[in-house]
Amino acid sequence: MNISPKGYRYLVPALLPLAGLYLLWRARKQPSYLKHWGERFAWSDFPSPRASHPVVWIHAVSVGETNATRPLVRAILNQWPQCDILLTHMTPTGREAGQKIVQLDPQRIRQCFLPYDAVYAVRKFLRQTRPAMGLLMETEVWPTVLEEAHALGIPMALVNARLSEKSFNQAMRVPELMKKAMGRFTKVCAQAESDAQRLKAMGTVEPVITGSLKFDIQAPAEALAKAAQWKLGISKPIVMFASTRDGEEALIVESLKEQAKPEVCYLLVPRHPQRFAEVEELLKSAGLRYQKRSLLKSPDDIQKDTQVILGDSMGEMFFYCALSDVTLMGGSFKPFGCQNVIEPASVGVPVIVGPSTFNFSMVVEKGMEAGAITQVEDVARAVDLAHQWLMNPEWMASLKANALTFSKMYVGATERTMSVLETLWKKQ
């Protein structure tokens, strides 16, 4: 199947009723999908710029991309004091994560959803927000956005860009559409050489390899302080299953039924909040003794016979990472490509991943070389390895040191990215 750029522009408006049905379907488990429909369909107005304050627009779809913008937003605020920032998202959880970034400077940062990629909606968005430049995070390619921005002379950059082999193959099913869209980027900042090669093959300008912004994210001091306080009150080492995806929790629960040790506490943190209740039901059906993080005010509330803490809260991943001794990374034990292995490593926590790591292939490879990340074939093996590490204090100390060293080896992506963007800024 191939869709031409012209055909795409006609197709998207025809699909908008289905988008509305999709939002209603998602709202069954996540009511926040019912909010801000006016922005999604361009029925309401978008934030207009302040006089004499050029706007840098940053689009970050969901939580991971949004959190990755934090060091970049700080740099923009510091280096371009005359500009404001517009942060856009596609998911409610991304918008919620973005609210914390807005607090860096509420006067200069505003938020909204990016409307669906229909011509009328994109034109209204660009006309009202009037960005001086646009930055799309990671793998975001919206053909109409890029085409309309190009027509208006708005430079667009793909930042922190990554493109797995799987995503490349999917995109190339519609080569005419994707190659024209990718050719509209003025600058491309790729995370790694492999990403750069695939991006160039899709028709972008020559990418600049800047590394991953996620290495530059610093754990909030309050999260580290809270984790240190909780560790004092928890006498057991903690193994965390981080950002788990659909199907993985069932594997984890089965493994814990066989392998859980009374001297270890397990922390299970599903990636998506709409699945908290589903995962709780799995724990309950398995007969595992669990407590919910949302009901724990302090470590004193944790009962002695609790086996699993269900991490049913948002915005606490750094707290969870710092609280843990070992992290088993979700998304890697089913074919989801792995979630962010950099966060736990940045606070000195070694990581175990499963076989599926295509979203972080370069990072996982480098982490394995540094002795900070270990790859295994399944959940049972991962749990067994975590137990082995915990029984060997010297091994654990070495692994923690490796994790910290690894995370510090790759800092600097923000500075390199800003050097690329500076060439666009000087033209404004």
As given in the structure block, the two tokens for residue 78 are: 């510091």
CB 318 within 8 A of CB 224: yes
Of 109, 112, 70, nearest to 315 (Cα)?
70
- Please answer whether residues 140 and 173 qualify as being in contact, where contact means their C-beta atoms are separated by less than 8 angstroms: no
Give strand pairing partners of 100.
Answer: none
Q: Which residues 6+ apart lie within 8 Å of 208 measured at CB?
A: 187, 188, 189, 190, 416, 420
For residue 353, what are the β-bridge partners?
375
Q: Which entry of 65, 148, 248, 343 is annotated as an active-site residue?
A: 65
Question: Token pair of 166, please?
Answer: 């799987």
Q: Write out the E strands in 253-385.
A: 265-270, 290-292, 308-310, 326-329, 351-353, 373-375
Residue pair 406/345 in contact by the 8 Å Cβ criterion? yes
Token pair recorded at residue 82: 């005359």
Are the C-beta atoms of 183 and 203 separated by less than 8 Å? yes
Q: Is-catalytic flag, 278?
A: no
For 399, the enclosing helix (H) or strand (E) is: helix 393-409
Identity of the amino acid at 9: R
Q: How far is the C-alpha of 213 from the C-alpha of 310, rounded, in Å?
A: 29
242 with 269: CB under 8 angstroms? yes
> Which among 415, 222, 240, 422 has a CA at the least distance from the CA of 329?
240
First to last CA, the chain: 40
Two tokens at 141? 């390619």
Query: What are the strands, taking DSSP E only, across 271-401?
Result: 290-292, 308-310, 326-329, 351-353, 373-375
Q: Angle at which helices 143-151 and 175-182 pack, to 10 degrees?
A: 40
The residue count of the chain comes to: 428
Q: How far apart are alpha carbons 242 and 263 in whole angstroms? A: 20
- Pairwise CA distance, residues 227 & 85, whole Å: 32
The single residue listed with the structure tokens 């560790």 is: 231
Q: What are the residue numbers of the active site?
A: 65
